[in-house]
Amino acid sequence: MSLLKITEQTGMVSVRLSRPDVRNAFNPDMIAEITQAFTEFGKRRDLRVITLSGEGKAFCAGADLSWMKTMVNYSYEQNREDSLKLHAMFDAIAKCTVPVLGFAHGAVFGGALGLLACCDHVVAEEETQFCFSEVKIGIAPAVISSFVMAKAVPGVVRPLMISGEVFGTERALQSALIHEVVPKGEGVSRLDRVVTSWMEAGPEAARETKRLLNDLPVLSADQQKERTTKLIAERRVSTEGQEGLKSFLEKRRPSWRDQ
């Protein structure tokens, strides 16, 4: 990985976009690296939390200018293939079985909002600016739209996507694209505290809950009934579920909190 900085501690991985000289803008290589990283993380049973952030002055400025210059000469077929790779990146994050926590600062423009939409929880610093900037250059926030609309409040985010208006943390919070706002300079420390809190959850319980929440929107009422009742029964008899129930009744810490 040359465009990402990945560091690991017990049970968690930190992923930082590392193109600070261009405000961590996407290019095909970065897209491929993010896709690969989150696909591999989803297969690991030792991970409990992943954090996603950006180095330098901004989280991510969207598409790289050099890449955009190349796009001008793409055919329809080349643009279609390019877009499928971009979609695969967002899909890898959204469907990663490990909970993903995001940290937004500086600027979050264009496709970067798709990254936030794929995170399970996002901390943002005050003064961060957000923008669905695609329409301002005559294109559309198309690839990110399904991920954004699956998370955001439609009535808040819809006019922002159509107008390309720059907005701040208050409207980002109202839209549910982010979940909490902290003073400038305090984002990293707050993210660390969120990580500690989330790691108190049973690792398998958190994974299965994320899978369930991803699955429910596409299931019928009968399928939801089958899926939810089956899952709770499985969790109650699982090794982790038994340990959790017994530790609660015995008023002690479950074993995974000491790992």
Domain ranges of the chain: 4-198, 203-258
Q: Has residue 198 got a pLDDT over 90?
A: yes
Q: Has residue 168 got a pLDDT over 90?
A: yes
Q: Has residue 259 got a pLDDT over 80?
A: no
When the pLDDT of each residue in the chain is averaged and rounded to a whole number, the result is 94
pLDDT digits (tens, 9 = 90+) for 90-130: 999 999 999 999 999 999 999 999 999 999 999 999 999 99
Rounded to whole angstroms, how far apart are CA atoms 89 and 28? 10
Question: Angle of helix 239-249 relative to helix 203-215, nearest 10 degrees?
Answer: 120
**Token output for 58:** 């901004």
The amino acid sitting at 233 is: A
Confidence of residue 71 (pLDDT cuts 50, 70, 90): confident
Domain 4-198 grouped into CATH 3.90.226.10: yes
Cα four-point dihedral sign 22, 27, 29, 34? positive
* Mean pLDDT (whole number) for 3-30: 94
Q: Tell me what pLDDT residue 258 has.
A: 79
Percent of the chain with pLDDT over 70: 100
CATH-assigned architecture of domain 203-258: Orthogonal Bundle (1.10)
Q: Tell me what pLDDT residue 63 has.
A: 85
pLDDT digits (tens, 9 = 90+) for 127-161: 999 999 999 999 999 999 999 999 999 999 999 99
Q: Has residue 1 got a pLDDT over 80?
A: no
